[in-house]
Amino acid sequence: MAEMTYLEAISTGLREEMRRDPTVFCLGEDIGLYGGAFKITQGFLEEFGENRVVDTPLAESAIIGAALGAAIMGLRPVAEMQFADFITCGFNQLVNNAAKTHYRWGAPVPMVVRCPSGGALHAGPFHSQNPEAWFFRVPGLKVVAPSSPYDAKGLIKAAIRDNNPVLFFEHKALYRDPKIKQTLPEEDYIVPIGAASVRRPGTDITLLTYGLMVYRSLEAAELLAGEGVDVEVLDLRSLLPFDREAILESVKKTSRLLIVHEDTLTGGIGGEMAAIVADEAFEYLDAPIRRVAAIDTPIPSSPPLEEFFLPNTEKIVTVLRRLAAY
């Protein structure tokens, strides 16, 4: 049993899959000699060689396009976007090519695109976005966003073994956070794509979230517990497919729903979750569905402005109190 950070869990899961399956290889900018911008692939070049740890030009369209071609030919590429924001340069290859290949002629496309995402590090509008909603509406893609080291390792392994293109969103603010280190099993395991996890059981309000916001939500839930309100925190983990049954089961139990995501409010995945609950569990609701998300502007570089922009524990607590009192 080894205690790992979020970053170490992703790196270990990736390394284990490369050892287990010789068709798995990595490609991306500075992932070889430099070990990646965040050091996820540090030491990989020495262990696996330059044929399986491929430094690429600064061209996300080429990275994703090459990964797609390799996947069609029977390999299992793991492509790194140095920052998730840069995935826009490969949008066509991912959305119009990779996502539709199986639909068009039945070919499996076992590729993973790793996307370091999220704010809280004051990196500004081109290195801090949460672009998961751009892909949430694309049939043929899978999208995951683990919040814990256990889930990060289990989901990177599940994503690599999946025969569909999987976007793997990993929050940069979680990489080296010592507060979320976990002791992980030494034996092989995966976390199934499509299964949510109850991070805190409760009876009064369902709080649906994912990624870094899981921890802000847990903090808020503990504060509400001191006021006699029992909040259930449901971590989606997998955004596409998502665990519809777990969401509806929780809402039917609590009769109240708050959705929290770091992405901007308008067009975020919370709107779809709210629609599903309104369609399928309306008669169970005792209060309006509420959302807490980022403000509809580009993310600022300034630390105090970024703090104002992002969802935080205080904002979540405020809405939870309003829901409890409704």
φ, ψ at 275 (rounded to 5°): -65, -40
Contact 10, 174 (CB under 8 A): no
Residues annotated as catalytic are 127
Nearest to 134 by CA among 88, 72, 73, 82: 88
Which amino acid makes up residue 41?
A: T
Helix-helix angle 313-325:213-225, to 10 degrees = 50
Cα of first residue to Cα of last residue in the chain, in angstroms, is: 46
- H or E element: which one contains 270? helix 269-280
Nearest to 310 by CA among 167, 87, 37, 125: 125
Q: Which single residue is written with the structure tokens 């020495």?
A: 46
Q: Measured between alpha carbons, how far is residue 133 from residues 113, 136, 310 in Å?
A: 15, 5, 16
Q: Which single residue is written with the structure tokens 């992405």?
A: 263
Q: Measured between alpha carbons, how far is residue 80 from residues 26, 129, 246, 290, 295 in Å?
A: 8, 16, 31, 34, 28
